[in-house]
Structure 1
Amino acid sequence: MRRRTLLAALPFLAGCTPSLGTFDSLTPRDAGVRRVARDMAYGEGARRKLDVYAPTDAAAALPVIVFIYGGSWATGDKDDYEFLGAALASRGFMIVVPDYRLVPEVRFPSFVEDCAAAVRWVSDHVAEYGGDGRRIVLVGHSAGGYNAVMLALAGDYLRSAGVADGSIRGAVGLAGPYDFLPFDVNATRNAFGQAPDPQLTQPVHFARADAPPLLLLWGVDDDTVGPRNLESLARVQRAAGGRVETKIYQNVDHIDILIALSRPFRGRAPVLDDVTAFARAVTD
């Protein structure tokens, strides 16, 4: 019955990326994981809080994955991602899931700056919960993938937040937009339309040889974020001498790539295996 209810919810989820609350409440959790901190403030205001998940039997300082959710920079809630925190933590990582300010309260670059501030909190405090703040991997889906990759490439955001160089060991984008000029849909116009220099909103603009390694994932059936984004960023990052891996999944759309991290739907694509194998390789 539980699985049928989950399947019935999928058409709704496919039509509106922002809310995964119903799915999160129904999907089974991975065992051996607990939320060790909830609603920890990394700045002022209700949207600048984060949760921390960890394996229950961790014996040493764990590498950390900071997961940044999507929602067109306008919606999203960390409380909808307990399934994801449990999934990633079950593979031997400490997981941090922050909220961040959204449109229309803020515009670019404020949501990126909030994510940088959350990473600074991780650097300063995650050791209190058993994590290693010098071994951080940024992971994000959709708009969150943009935020994660932007932090990895445009180093001034993390530097301004006080994050030590070398703390970010890698970044993973799940169906993220990285090369999307002109701003031709409401989501990008609302989030970036006021930027004085649109080029500086694009991750492709910041390709560099000394960036942390990137893993870019995308599904062939994704009609929300097109292949140009992965292809352009991979091309310019390789041309700059940077390290980038790409994986493209057949029969996977914009939502599938995210829910494939959950226990009932891991057969759709090896997203959990690919993300955690990359994170383990760059943090060992």
Structure 2
Amino acid sequence: MLRLVAAALALSISGCAVAEPLDFDQYVASIKPVKPVARVTYGSAASQHADLYLPTSKGPHPVVVLIHGGCWQANVPDEAMGLSQNAADLSAHGVAVWNVEYRRIGEPGGGYPGMYEDVAASIDKLRDVADQYKLDLRRVIVVGHSAGGHLALWAAARSKLPASSPFYRANALPVRGAVSLAGVGNLKYHANLLATVCPDIKIDQVVGPLGAARPDPFADTSPRKMLPLGVPTISITGDYDQEVPPYVGYLWRRVALKAGDSATDIVLPDAGHFDVVSVTAPSWILVRKQVLTMMAATK
């Protein structure tokens, strides 16, 4: 796919008021949590659960797996991770949404390896509830924001995990595509950027320790190392994003295309890091459109 640039996308939101990009406090203040249809646990830890949002149609429903960000850290306030509004909005447009929580850095098992185990287990848990909630597991895509964007790309790469990886599962539920909202797919190349944006963490908390048993800790943690993923990816970034600048998505598209994948990067006008997940921001209209378009292509 050709790269979509801000000038072209701006036409899609003509008529919407242009505002300054949201900062973190403004984003948090805008969040109004929406209760799910059901909360499903997939492990014994408090963080091991996913919230399900359903459309009003009879089904079977295609599924968007939604993964929040927050520098993979537990000390980011829960209210700042509030993707329930996004989940409710997407479900109102005809898809089921599986809004995933996972163990984060700072809680037992969080970060490496727990968050990878949790993302994998939460997606595979869909099999246990598919009949009850009329879910179409042939049509599952993953969407993540910031650190969750990395995990969304990783989830799409699970089929490329080597059998030697502790995260390998022979029967992993396949996904049909991934949307990374201001996420990083190349952890090694962007390690310095991550250290600036998330100064309270160390890269080995995200990718695991370097040692004789794991000579390359990025091999099963960084999506870049697992290309080609074999499914389409879209990277969406705000043009004013200071945390994950637009060039990150541009570079992902380049390496993914070179590896043989279908990949697009989109730069949204007048948007910062949090606008891409704020349902009150014009950017969300465009994000929703891309998610639904990817889902439609899974028919």
TM range (shorter): 0.7 to 0.9
Pairing 1:29-44 to 2, within 5 Å after superposition? 35-38=36-39, 40-44=40-44
Distance in 1 (CA, whole Å) between partners of 2:243 and 2:283 is 22
More RCO (CA 8 Å, sep 6+): 2
Q: CA deviation at 1:251?
A: 1.3
Which of 149, 157, 180 is residue 173 of structure 1 equivalent to? 180
Aligned Cα root-mean-square deviation (Å): 2.8
Distance 1:188 1:236, change over 3 A: farther
Task: Please say if 1:240 is aligned against 2:259.
Answer: yes
Which of 80, 87, 90 is residue 89 of structure 2 equivalent to? 87
Q: CA deviation at 1:126?
A: 2.6
- Asked whether the equivalents of residues 204 and 232 of structure 1 are also in contact (C-alpha less than 8 Å), the reply is no
| Aligned partner of residue 66 in structure 2, secondary structure | strand
Instruction: Give the TM-score normalised by the residue count of structure 2.
Output: 0.77
Distance in 1 (CA, whole Å) between partners of 2:148 and 2:253 is 18
Instruction: Flag structure 2 segments of 5+ consecutive residues without an equivalent.
Output: 1-18, 211-215
Percent identity over the alignment is 28
Distance in 2 (CA, whole Å) between partners of 1:181 and 1:99 is 24
Structure 1 equivalent of residue 9 of structure 2: none
Distance 1:162 1:80, change over 3 A: same
Higher strand share: 1
Pairing 1:58-77 to 2, within 5 Å after superposition? 58-74=57-73, 75=76, 77=78
Q: CA deviation at 1:231?
A: 2.0
Q: CA deviation at 1:214?
A: 0.7
Instruction: Give the TM-score normalised by the residue count of structure 1.
Output: 0.81
Distance in 2 (CA, whole Å) between partners of 1:275 and 1:170 is 10
Q: CA deviation at 1:224?
A: 0.3
| Aligned partner of residue 67 in structure 1, secondary structure | strand
Higher helix share: 1
Structure 2 equivalent of residue 189 of structure 1: 202
Distance in 1 (CA, whole Å) between partners of 2:63 and 2:284 is 25
Distance 1:192 1:265, change over 3 A: closer
Distance 1:65 1:268, change over 3 A: closer
Structure 2 equivalent of residue 163 of structure 1: 172
Number of aligned positions between the proteins = 258
Distance in 1 (CA, whole Å) between partners of 2:284 and 2:150 is 23
Map Cα deviations across residues 183-211 of structure 1 (whole Å, 9 max, x no partner). Answer: 63325526337432343342212211x52
Instruction: Flag structure 1 segments of 5+ consecutive residues without an equivalent.
Output: 1-6
Structure 2 equivalent of residue 25 of structure 1: 32
